[in-house]
Copies of this chain bind each other. A is one copy, B any other.
Amino acid sequence: MVGGGQLARMTHEAGIPLGIRFKLLSDTAQDSAAQVVNEVVVGDYRDLDTLRRFAEGCDVITFDHEHVPTEHLRALEADGIPVRPGPDALVHAQDKGVMRARLAELGVPAPRNRLVSDARDVAAFAAEGAAPGTGDGFPVVLKTVRGGYDGKGVWVVRGADDPNAAEPFKAGVPVLAEEKVDFARELAANVVRSPHGQAVAYPVVESVQVDGVCDTVIAPAPELAEDLALGAQEIALKVAHELGVVGHLAVELFETADGRLLVNELAMRPHNSGHWTQDGAVTSQFANHVRAVLDLPLGDPRCRERWTVMANVLGGDYPDMYAAYLHCMARDPQLKIHMYGKDVKPGRKVGHVNVYGDDLAEVRERAAHAAGYLRGTVVE
């Protein structure tokens, strides 16, 4: 696996029971996954020679992130190394412009969008979206087509004279303009697909964002109409099939107030919206990603529990979490803590907790309490 973050850490954890050998390419020997994996190559994934050296002895290569250059992936494939997901699929998770164009071809519903070149283009894009007599069409969302995550690389432009209308163009990366969807909530439809075409769809979940960062995931999404749930799974399965995805695909969606689904983002790797599966599904996203990548039959994706809630633990002001561990574990013996071995920095994702049970309100409270206590924002 290329990339030493928490996704690789948890993929390794899920691979251990399968008896496989797991080799890691990591930026440093201290990265989250590098701490727990036996075979670690420290190197730069942007360097083809490093990738080739890493690939020696690997049966297949997969990824903790989408940042490996497409041309390097093609070079590895030319060397005879299976790359899963492959470059032709992965480019849709790397480049939002390519993704938007392809989803439009497939007829998958998405926010109105267009590549833009400057602030004047942005104003024109906005105006096209303005209903007659309703103003200038702002706000509009601008995104760099590559490199953004967790709210980075995303700007909301509230009017033609908003400084954000010019900011995204400074990096010299193509910029995509999108309508700012007035959504009721955010959903994620996660699926896993094998090279031989088997696919499984996880229950659709609700994802609650705070400041552009995933805060809480509720599985399954509460009170989601069955046709919307099936529609979201169908979109994700269609995208996985048409794009030839191998492994885990997360499709982030907006549910609009008038009951439509619009695709927001794609990720082709285990995803934060699937962390609940570690304790709440029969087969976790990590185990199924490994099974898919190795072309093994996939495991059952269904819920084991009525409700499972995942809450991210962000770093707070206290670098040593041992005392908080004591409190949280003693308070809730059913709490499932997943920490990433990362140094605590304010706002950094350093772990998550999963809680399951029959009473959603109680389950949410327990998850939020534990995550808040570990961060230091809940005191008792």
Q: Show the binding face of A for B, using Cβ within 8 Å.
A: 9-10, 12-13, 16-22, 34-38, 40, 282-283, 291, 296-300, 304, 321, 325-326, 329-330, 333-341, 351
Given A296-B326, A297-B333: A16 touches B38 (CB 8 Å cut-off) = no
Query: Do A16 and B13 touch (CB < 8 A)?
Result: yes
Query: Do A334 and B35 touch (CB < 8 A)?
Result: no
A55 CB, nearest partner CB in chain B, Å: 19
15 pairs from A and B in contact (CB 8 Å cutoff)? A9-B16, A13-B16, A16-B36, A17-B339, A19-B339, A19-B340, A19-B351, A20-B341, A36-B38, A296-B325, A297-B333, A298-B329, A299-B333, A299-B335, A300-B333
Nearest opposing residue in chain B for A295, CB measure: B326
Query: Do B337 and A17 touch (CB < 8 A)?
Result: yes
Query: Do A16 and B12 touch (CB < 8 A)?
Result: yes
Query: Do A37 and B35 touch (CB < 8 A)?
Result: no
Q: How many subunits of this chain does the assembly comprise?
A: 2
Nearest opposing residue in chain B for A200, CB measure: B333
Given A36-B38, A38-B40: A333 touches B17 (CB 8 Å cut-off) = no
Nearest opposing residue in chain B for A327, CB measure: B297
Complex CA gap A337/B333 in Å reads 26
Query: Do A298 and B336 touch (CB < 8 A)?
Result: no
**Candidates B22, B282, B330, B339; contact of A334 at CB < 8 Å:** B282
Nearest opposing residue in chain B for A17, CB measure: B338
Given contacts A19-B341, A20-B341, A38-B38, 12 further A-B contacts (CB under 8 A): A13-B16, A13-B17, A21-B35, A34-B38, A36-B37, A38-B40, A296-B329, A297-B326, A297-B330, A298-B329, A300-B334, A304-B304
| Most central of A38, A40, A334, A337 by chain B CB within 10 Å | A38
Main secondary structure of the interface of A (DSSP, over half): loop
Complex CA gap A296/B13 in Å reads 21
Complex CA gap A325/B17 in Å reads 12
**Candidates B12, B291, B351; contact of A36 at CB < 8 Å:** B12
A315 CB, nearest partner CB in chain B, Å: 12
Complex CA gap A333/B291 in Å reads 11
Query: Do A18 and B333 touch (CB < 8 A)?
Result: no
Given A299-B329, A340-B19: A35 touches B36 (CB 8 Å cut-off) = no
Query: Do A18 and B326 touch (CB < 8 A)?
Result: no
Complex CA gap A162/B267 in Å reads 69
A23 CB, nearest partner CB in chain B, Å: 11
A40 CB, nearest partner CB in chain B, Å: 7
A20 CB, nearest partner CB in chain B, Å: 8
Query: Do B38 and A35 touch (CB < 8 A)?
Result: yes
Which 9 pairs of residues, A with B, have the shortest CB-CB distance?
A: A19-B339, A297-B329, A297-B330, A300-B333, A17-B338, A13-B16, A19-B341, A300-B334, A16-B36
Residues of B near A36 (CB, < 8 A) are 12, 16, 22, 37-38
Query: Do B330 and A18 touch (CB < 8 A)?
Result: no
Complex CA gap A321/B335 in Å reads 36
Nearest opposing residue in chain B for A291, CB measure: B329
Residues of B near A321 (CB, < 8 A) are 19
Residues of B near A20 (CB, < 8 A) are 341
Residues of B near A329 (CB, < 8 A) are 291, 296-299
Residues of B near A40 (CB, < 8 A) are 38
Query: Do B338 and A299 touch (CB < 8 A)?
Result: no
Nearest opposing residue in chain B for A336, CB measure: B17
A289 CB, nearest partner CB in chain B, Å: 14
